[in-house]
Amino acid sequence: MEIVKIIGIGLVSLILIVIIKQYKPEFALYVSLGAGIIIILMVLDKLLGIIQLLTTLSQKAGINATYLSILLKITGIAILTEFGVSICKDAGETAVANKIEFGGKIIIISISIPIISALLEVIMQLIP
């Protein structure tokens, strides 16, 4: 049932954008920004349930909690970066979008350094 609301909001914002684009193009950008924010906010609550399931499963499987929290951080950063990149691309500013993407990648890599080092240690132990 939730999906109908999401599609409804998307279509309504599409209609509004097409109307406003003739008169004031910059307001069309704000309507698309608002629609993106509303849809993400609606879906975020469902994400909470998924994350709780992930944490309980990882505790059962005995996975280290820090790795899961790093993974969650990376997912959050990815969502926000993708949000910013798509808005910039919509407005036609691909240069800014690429800079945002580049920044997001660097932050994700810098956050996942512990995982990479742990992985290398495991590999080193495997090699006799």
Partner 1 sequence: MEIDLLFKIAAIGILVAVLHQVLVRAGREDQAMMTTLAGLIIVLSMVIKEISALFNSVRTIFNL
Contacting residues toward partner 1, per CB under 8 A = 8-9, 12-13, 16, 19-20, 23-24, 26-28, 30-31, 33-35, 37-38, 40-42, 44, 47-48, 51, 69, 72-73, 75-77, 79-80, 83
Task: Determine the distance from the C-alpha atom of residue 46 to the mean position of all C-alpha atoms in its chain, rounded to a whole number.
Answer: 14
- Report the nearest approach of partner 1 to the CB of residue 124 (Å): 31
**Whole-angstrom Cα Rg for the chain:** 20
User: How many alpha carbons lie under 13 Å from residue 92 in its C-beta half-sphere?
Assistant: 4
- Report the nearest approach of partner 1 to the CB of residue 72 (Å): 5
Nearer to partner 1, 79 or 120 (CB): 79
- Report the nearest approach of partner 1 to the CB of residue 26 (Å): 7
Nearer to partner 1, 55 or 99 (CB): 55
Nearer to partner 1, 26 or 123 (CB): 26
Nearer to partner 1, 42 or 113 (CB): 42
